[in-house]
Amino acid sequence: MMEQAMRNFFLFLSKNKPITKMAKKYGLQFGAARFVAGERINQAVEVIKELNKKNLCVTIDYLGEFIDNEREANEMADHCIEAIEAIAREGLDSQLSLKLTSMGLDLSDEIVMSNMRRILEAAERHDVFVTIDMEDYSRCGKTLEIFKQLKKEYDHIGTVIQAYLYRTEEDMKELDAYSPNLRLVKGAYKESAKVAFPEKKDVDENFKKIIKMHLLNGNYTAVATHDDVMIEYTKQLVKEHKIPKDQFEFQMLYGICTERQHELANEGYKMRVYVPYGTDWYGYFMRRLAERPANVAFIVKGIMKK
């Protein structure tokens, strides 16, 4: 009960525009540095180099979401291209992740498509794979439509499917025609029971179902979770069905379950770490606190020590 209230509180804060502006201004304080690689690309590059040395590959994310003007959307796309160029220049083992609301999804089709094409052209030029993160339910249908359109034009593109949505199974059936490279997640936003399973056990069950569906269809599958039950389930499944190691990978967030990341990499699994950076870290940070209110205690301890 208390945990649910905390979760709702942090998810509410994650969408609060005045607080987001304030947070941007005052920099990476209050413990967000545990989850965010820095505000600038050169800081993120150093973090990625260290992860790569430890056999962990990466997907880098220039933080930003819910952009409401064209100039900022274009700048966000410029940052993504800068990240792609840094990956190529520094020879990093890294992909790119981005959110369509930061590319102008809420502004117009023209803006979001033009920014995405600019990014995907740079991505193809430098052989860097791009994943479109999935945002809240109200943008899910539009995001999938854009993904399908872009997938017809470019190879280096994938997207995300959220197990907590009722629509997910149907979406996956429709996407199958595109042989998509999908990241499968439980889902991080606050959604109503009209569109998403309210009970964790149902989300977990659906997560297992879509992992199986996607792997057995022969598509590339990124199982993005910190949940050991899901990781063990995937390991058993791939063993049972003799699914090759180059058809799937595990993904986790930077700063979360770090030891487990190393263990999986040492066991020979492909392990990708999602590394966010940039000044707009606030919404991302609040969602991480919402997932695990125990993180708040960790953050408070960190602040007291300063």
Ligand X SMILES: Cc1cc2nc3c(=O)[nH]c(=O)nc-3n(C[C@H](O)[C@H](O)[C@H](O)COP(=O)(O)OP(=O)(O)OC[C@H]3O[C@@H](n4cnc5c(N)ncnc54)[C@H](O)[C@@H]3O)c2cc1C
Residues that bind ligand X (CB under 6 A): 133-134, 160, 162, 183, 185-189, 224-227, 251-253, 256-257, 274, 288, 291-292, 295
Nearer to ligand X, 41 or 57 (CB): 57
Residue of 106, 133, 136, 280 marked catalytic: 133
Whichever of 20 and 97 has its CB closer to ligand X, that residue is 97
Is the CB of residue 37 less than 8 Å from the CB of residue 58?
no
136 is catalytic: no
Does the active-site annotation cover 183? yes
Provide the minimum distance between the beta carbon of 99 and ligand X in the complex, in angstroms, as a whole number: 8
Region of 278 (left: φ > 0; alpha: ψ -120 to 50; beta: rest) is left
**SS3 labels along 169-237:** HHHHHHHHHHCCCEEEECCCCCCCCCCECCCHHHHHHHHHHHHHHHHHCCCCEEEECCCHHHHHHHHHH
* Rounded-to-integer distance, Cα 186 and Cα 45, Å: 28
Considering the complex, what minimum distance in angstroms separates the CB of residue 189 from ligand X? 6
Residue among 60 and 188 whose Cβ is closer to ligand X: 188
CB of 252 to ligand X, least distance (A): 5
Give the nearest distance from C-beta 188 to ligand X in angstroms. 4
In angstroms, the CA 66 to CA 71 distance is 13
Both tokens of 145, joined, read: 């439509």
CA distance 288 to 303: 17
Beta carbon nearer to ligand X, 70 or 270: 270
Which of the following is catalytic: 106, 136, 171, 183?
Answer: 183
- Within 15-164, where are the H helices? 17-26, 41-53, 70-90, 109-126, 140-153
User: Which is closer to ligand X, CB of 18 or CB of 253?
Assistant: 253
**Smallest distance from ligand X to CB 160, Å:** 4
Say if residue 42 is exposed, middle or buried (CB neighbours under 10 Å; 0-12, 13-18, 19+): exposed
Q: For the purposes of burial, counting CB atoms within 10 Å of the CB of 113, is it exposed (0-12), middle (13-18) or buried (19 or more)?
A: middle
Catalytic residues: 133, 183
